[in-house]
């Protein structure tokens, strides 16, 4: 082999090595980004834009975790990228791993990359286990965490609606004006997050009786939560008579949910509904002051107090 051929071979090997290292880093960055998008490394409720993205990409439930389909999508992201890289750049990946493993600095870099991936995977596993074991939800992990001073006030007009409450009365936006209102969305056959969400609102009302706020629960399940079933649901959840539960015909209810921008996915076989644990805090004029996701009672109280004040 001539010196020129040897140089060309060495140059080709260097290109393969550096390409392999870049591909390895790309895999790590892409995997972490995908995982962090689904389950951020924080227990604080995500901003509204991220909550919507999680719902669209991973069918995220009220407890902040992906549905069973979402977990599959979460896993398939890095698996699919791995298969693509192996199919197109197998030689480069081998050269990249050999290059990193050749000296101490490379081994340290490779070890750091592996550690970061394992740390994020461990975090997601911990979140899944602890959230399942703690039905009170994510916010309960920090019961004394204050409502952020600079939390965005939306000042967005709430959509009007006309639905039937548990006493057979027609209720619209005008009927809940005059006081702060906590408007949330749930369904009677939900045995986990929905009862806990409305219980958090009820606790907030008990903590701040002087606020004279009201709870409004709009059903996500017009198929089963008919107006005649609402009183039973109120009793089942242990809510006071002052709570307003609303439903109606399927088309009308779904239109109201769409107007409130509530994303949801209904399982046609079981009737179960995946949806975010959203609570809108309306000011006395019927304007949406705050949108909260899985809020603690303390957050609800403070958001209600701020909503009662002029912006």
Output the CA–CA distances (angstroms, integers) from residue 136 to 15, 43, 126, 140, 145, in the order listed. Answer: 53, 13, 16, 6, 15
The band of 3, judged by pLDDT with boundaries at 50, 70 and 90, is very low
Q: Comparing 54 with 151, which gets the higher pLDDT?
A: 151
**According to the model, what pLDDT value does residue 2 have?**
52
- Residue 45's pLDDT band (cuts 50, 70, 90): low
Higher pLDDT, 151 or 256: 256
Cβ–Cβ under 8 Å, residues 93 and 23: yes
- Candidate from 5-19, 135-149, 177-191, 283-297 with smallest mean pLDDT: 135-149
Q: C-alpha angle 155/142/284, rounded to 5°? A: 25
> pTM surpassing 0.85?
no
Burial class (CB in 10 A: 0-12, 13-18, 19+), 175: middle
pLDDT of res. 43: 54
Average pLDDT over residues 44-70: 74
Phi, psi for 218 (deg, rounded to 5): -95, 125
pLDDT in tens, 209-241: 999 999 999 999 999 999 999 999 999 999 999
- Asked if 32 and 114 touch (Cβ cutoff 8 Å), the reply is no
Is residue 120 scored above 90 in pLDDT?
no
> In 10 A of CB 41, how many CB atoms?
12
H or E element that contains 30: helix 3-38
What order do you get walking across the sheet with 214-219 strand by strand? 156-157, 287-293, 278-282, 181-186, 214-219, 244-247, 162-165, 170-172
How much is the pLDDT for 11? 63
Task: Say whether pLDDT at 51 is over 80.
Answer: no
Sign of the C-alpha dihedral computed for residues 66, 50, 123 and 25 taken in this order: positive
Q: Which two tokens stand for residue 146?
A: 């204050």
Domains of the chain, first to last: 3-133 (no CATH), 142-308 (3.40.30.10)
Average confidence score pLDDT of the chain: 85
- Taking 80 as the threshold, does the pLDDT of residue 70 lie above it? no
Element (H, E) at 278: strand 278-282
**Whole-number Å distance between alpha carbons of 168 and 170:** 7
- pLDDT band with cut points at 50, 70 and 90 for residue 141: very low
């Amino acid at each position: 082999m001539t010196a020129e051929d040897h140089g060309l071979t060495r140059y080709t090997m260097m290109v393969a090595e550096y390409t392999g290292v870049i591909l390895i880093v790309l895999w790590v960055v892409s995997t972490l980004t995908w995982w962090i998008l689904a389950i951020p490394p924080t227990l604080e409720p995500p901003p509204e834009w991220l909550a919507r993205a999680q719902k669209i990409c991973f069918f995220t439930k009220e407890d902040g975790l992906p549905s069973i389909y979402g977990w599959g999508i979460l896993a398939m992201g890095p698996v699919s990228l791995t298969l693509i890289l192996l199919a197109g750049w197998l030689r480069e990946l081998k050269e990249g791993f050999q290059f990193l493993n050749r000296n101490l600095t490379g081994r340290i870099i490779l070890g750091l990359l592996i550690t970061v991936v394992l740390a994020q995977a461990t975090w997601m596993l911990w979140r899944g286990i602890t959230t399942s074991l703690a039905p009170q939800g994510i916010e309960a992990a920090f019961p004394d965490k204050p409502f952020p001073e600079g939390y965005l006030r939306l000042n967005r007009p709430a959509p009007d609606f006309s639905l039937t409450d548990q006493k057979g009365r027609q209720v619209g936006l005008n009927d809940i004006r005059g006081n702060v209102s906590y408007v949330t969305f749930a369904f009677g056959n939900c045995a986990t997050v929905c009862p806990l969400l409305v219980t958090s609102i009820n606790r907030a009302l008990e903590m701040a009786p002087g606020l004279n706020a009201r709870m409004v629960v709009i059903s996500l399940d017009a198929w089963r939560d008919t107006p005649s079933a609402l009183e039973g649901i109120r009793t089942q959840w242990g809510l006071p008579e002052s709570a307003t539960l609303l439903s109606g015909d399927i088309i009308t209810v779904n239109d109201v949910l769409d107007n409130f921008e509530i994303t949801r996915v209904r399982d046609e076989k079981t009737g179960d509904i995946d949806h975010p644990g959203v609570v809108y805090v309306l000011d006395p004029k019927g304007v949406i002051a705050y949108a909260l996701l899985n809020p603690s009672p303390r957050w609800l109280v403070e958001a209600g107090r701020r909503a009662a004040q002029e912006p």
